[in-house]
């Protein structure tokens, strides 16, 4: 029985898709995920007195980091934030412009690039394919906690309420955020199984 060379697929197996990530492809990926974030903001749900709506933005941010890695994931979210602050209505509920900086949701919004970077940084350290799903899930969950650590105090400050009240408000986000973290991990891991060369490791 002869060993199969690393660069060849076993007999009968489909070849692994090759992805050549060029600077142009980097730009396209960053722009695509920036647009995805805008799409994720289209649907928003307001719960009671909570001043920050529930959207799919967090899913887009976590997925950007899980798929693109730290640098490109952060750039995609920075592009999204910059476009919104420039006046394009890409934020939740059609918000846009510098006035968003005075809203209770600004802490979550400005934390997005850090969250995407953190997910990507952890994912980039995963070497064993069998650990990719659990490792990516750990990354998305940890990054969600970081999002809360930044978003909750700022929400309390901008809404003029005690931090304990903001924490209670934030509890409404947790069930769906857990679902989003799991979905982002599953999709991210699946993408890298299909396209192992997509994620650059430095």
Segment 78-134, tens digit of pLDDT? 999 999 999 999 999 889 999 999 999 999 999 999 999 999 999 999 888 888 999
Q: What percent of the chain has pLDDT over 90?
A: 74
Determine phi and psi for 184, rounding to 5 degrees. Answer: -60, -40
Q: Which of 1-15, 17-31, 47-61, 143-157 tops mean pLDDT? A: 143-157
148 touches 166 (CB < 8 A): no
pLDDT score of 80: 97
Cα-based distances in Å from 87 to 76, 94, 158: 17, 10, 21
Residue 182 has pLDDT above 70, yes or no: yes
**Closest-CA residue to 145 (of 176, 168, 174):** 174
For residue 98, the 8-state DSSP code is G
CB 98 within 8 A of CB 85: yes
The pTM of the full predicted model, rounded to 2 decimals, is 0.87
| Residue 23 scores a pLDDT above 90 | no
CA atoms of 19 and 194, how far apart (whole Å):
10
Q: Is the pLDDT of residue 145 over 60?
A: yes
CA angle 13, 15, 16 (to 5 degrees): 120
Rounded Cα distance, 186 and 146, in Å: 20
pLDDT score of 128? 83
Q: For the chain, which domains are there? A: 23-194 (1.10.1760.20)
CA–centroid distance for 124 within its chain: 14
Question: Residues 183, 188, 189, 193: what is their CA dihedral angle, to the nearest 10 degrees?
Answer: 140
Q: What is the mean pLDDT of residues 53-78?
A: 95
- Mean of the per-residue pLDDT values of the chain: 89
> Is 104 exposed, middle or buried, given 0-12, 13-18 or 19+ CB atoms closer than 10 A?
buried
């Amino acid at each position: 029985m002869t060993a199969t060379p690393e660069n060849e697929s076993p007999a009968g197996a489909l070849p692994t898709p090759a992805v050549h990530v060029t600077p142009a492809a980097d730009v396209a990926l960053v722009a695509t995920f920036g647009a995805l974030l805008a799409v994720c903001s289209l649907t928003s749900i307001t719960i009671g007195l909570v001043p920050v709506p529930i959207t799919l933005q967090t899913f887009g941010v976590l997925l950007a980091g899980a798929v693109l890695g730290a640098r490109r994931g952060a750039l995609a979210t920075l592009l999204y934030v910059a476009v919104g602050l420039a006046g394009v209505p890409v934020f939740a509920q059609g918000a846009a412009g510098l006035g968003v900086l005075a809203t209770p949701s600004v802490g979550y919004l400005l934390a997005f690039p850090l969250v995407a970077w953190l997910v990507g940084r952890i994912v980039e350290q995963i070497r064993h394919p069998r650990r990719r799903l659990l490792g990516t899930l750990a990354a998305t969950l940890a990054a969600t906690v970081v999002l809360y650590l930044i978003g909750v105090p700022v929400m309390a400050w901008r809404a003029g309420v005690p931090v304990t009240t903001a924490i209670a408000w934030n509890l409404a986000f947790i069930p769906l955020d857990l679902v989003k973290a799991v979905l982002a991990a599953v999709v991210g891991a699946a993408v890298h199984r299909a396209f192992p060369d997509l994620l650059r490791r430095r």
